[in-house]
């Protein structure tokens, strides 16, 4: 996209300088990921580019680490645990976060500011403090080293993302629609499912995806709460780095990057859909 034809010389210079600076920042942020992906195809058990890879020799590339991942019971078990914990914690976080956001959006809600501060505190408090607090609390009720404890811990971490996204969606919500539904005889439950939920669905789904990603990538809390049977992918990667360094970790990281790209693409599609519904964008 070129600058407009009426732009002056300094404006054109700033146009290209700004985009060049943005490209450098993007490269700085994405650089480590760009290095991981080709290294995951290394034929040798090293974390560096071999001479054959640099020379683009086919002998220097292999899918052996991906094959090792799919043949390893430890890695497949970690994937299974990650999905189990992430799915259930996402369902809980989405349900509770949506209800909390709806309550916070009401003008009759007292003490909204301090309550919102409490709801989003897991995002602000250092993770090690949250993990230690959850460990002592869950230990009292025998929830450590159980799937229930890990799911509840990840739910607490995912709720703030759902609250923020749904609250942002409700910012431009027209409450006259709910009053119109009530005047036509609709019950509050029917009004929620027929009027409110369809309009806030993009925010709900976006919050659910953020909660899923948060649960899928969490390390610190799982180290405190989970046991050997609840080992997730991040914990398996952490243990692999400490105990036995293997490029299989790079293959897993590449797969996780692909999953993250897919989820971010879904978020972008939902954002555009939300703008079209609100009339903020054409089409």
Give the integer Cα–Cα distance in Å for 87 and 97: 15
- At residue 59, the pLDDT reads 84
Residue 270 has pLDDT above 80, yes or no: no
Of residues 184 and 80, more confidence is placed in 80
DSSP-assigned beta bridge partners for residue 42: 61
Q: Give the H/E segment covering residue 76.
A: helix 73-105
Q: What is the mean pLDDT of residues 174-201?
A: 81
Instruction: Encode pLDDT of 194-206 as tens digits.
Output: 888 787 887 888 8
Q: What is the mean pLDDT of residues 122-149?
A: 88
Radius of gyration of the chain (CA): 24
- At residue 85, the pLDDT reads 92
Is there a contact between 127 and 221 (Cβ–Cβ < 8 Å)? yes
Of residues 173 and 221, more confidence is placed in 221
Is there a contact between 81 and 231 (Cβ–Cβ < 8 Å)? yes
**Full set of structural domains in the chain with CATH:** 72-276 (1.10.3720.10)
- At residue 154, the pLDDT reads 92
Q: What is the DSSP letter of 192?
A: I
- At residue 283, the pLDDT reads 46
Of residues 66 and 272, more confidence is placed in 66
- At residue 274, the pLDDT reads 66
Residue 281 has pLDDT above 60, yes or no: no
DSSP-assigned beta bridge partners for residue 61: 42
Is there a contact between 151 and 232 (Cβ–Cβ < 8 Å)? no
Is there a contact between 66 and 40 (Cβ–Cβ < 8 Å)? yes
Confidence of residue 244 (pLDDT cuts 50, 70, 90): low
Is there a contact between 226 and 139 (Cβ–Cβ < 8 Å)? no
Give the integer Cα–Cα distance in Å for 22 and 153: 37
Tokens 């390893």 correspond to 72
* Burial call 74-104: b when 16+ CB within 10 Å, e when fewer: ebeebbebbeebbebbbbbbbebbbebbbeb
Mean pLDDT of the chain: 84
Is there a contact between 234 and 217 (Cβ–Cβ < 8 Å)? yes
Q: Kindly report the backbone phi and psi dihedral angles of residue 11, in degrees, each rounded to the nearest multiple of 5, phi listed first.
A: -65, -40
Q: Kindly report the backbone phi and psi dihedral angles of residue 221, in degrees, each rounded to the nearest multiple of 5, phi listed first.
A: -65, -40
Confidence of residue 96 (pLDDT cuts 50, 70, 90): very high
Residue 280 has pLDDT above 60, yes or no: no
Instruction: Encode pLDDT of 48-93 as tens digits.
Output: 888 888 888 888 888 888 888 888 888 888 889 999 999 999 999 9
**What burial class does residue 161 get, using C-beta atoms within 10 Å of its C-beta: 0-12 exposed, 13-18 middle, 19+ buried?**
buried
Tokens 């890695």 correspond to 75
Q: Three-state DSSP class for 193?
A: helix
Q: What is the mean pLDDT of residues 90-103?
A: 90
Q: Kindly report the backbone phi and psi dihedral angles of residue 7, in degrees, each rounded to the nearest multiple of 5, phi listed first.
A: -70, 140
Is there a contact between 69 and 256 (Cβ–Cβ < 8 Å)? no
Confidence of residue 180 (pLDDT cuts 50, 70, 90): confident
- 242's tokens: 């400490």
Instruction: Encode pLDDT of 27-50 as tens digits.
Output: 898 888 888 888 888 888 877 888
DSSP string, 34-71: HHHHHHTTBSSS-SS--HHHHTT-GGGB-SHHHHHHHH
* Percent of the chain whose pLDDT exceeds 70: 95
Tokens 């989405």 correspond to 94
């Amino acid at each position: 996209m070129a600058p407009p034809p009426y732009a002056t010389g300094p404006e054109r210079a700033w146009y290209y300088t700004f985009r060049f600076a943005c490209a450098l920042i993007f490269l700085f942020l994405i650089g480590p990921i760009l290095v991981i992906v080709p290294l995951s195809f290394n034929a040798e058990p090293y974390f560096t580019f071999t001479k054959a890879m640099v020379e683009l020799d086919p002998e220097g590339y292999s899918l052996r680490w991906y094959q090792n991942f799919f043949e390893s019971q430890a890695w497949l078990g970690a994937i299974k645990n990650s999905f189990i914990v992430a799915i259930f914690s996402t369902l809980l976080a989405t349900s509770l976060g949506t209800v909390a956001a709806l309550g916070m959006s009401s003008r009759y809600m007292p003490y909204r500011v301090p309550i919102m501060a409490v709801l989003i505190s897991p995002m602000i408090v250092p993770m090690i403090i949250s993990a230690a607090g959850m460990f002592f609390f869950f230990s009292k009720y025998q929830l450590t080293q159980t799937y229930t404890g890990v799911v509840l811990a990840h739910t607490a971490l995912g709720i703030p993302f759902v609250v923020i996204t749904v609250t942002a969606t409700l910012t431009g919500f027209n409450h006259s629609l709910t009053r119109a539904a009530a005047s036509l005889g609709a019950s509050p439950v029917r009004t929620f499912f027929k009027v409110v939920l369809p309009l806030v669905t993009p925010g709900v789904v976006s919050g659910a995806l953020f909660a899923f990603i948060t649960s899928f990538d969490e390390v610190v809390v799982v180290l405190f709460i989970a046991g050997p049977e609840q080992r997730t992918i991040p914990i398996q990667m952490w243990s692999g780095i400490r105990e036995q360094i293997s490029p299989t970790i790079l293959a897993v990281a590449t797969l996780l990057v692909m999953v993250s790209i897919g989820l971010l693409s879904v978020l972008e599609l939902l954002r555009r859909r939300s703008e079209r519904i609100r009339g903020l964008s054409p089409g």
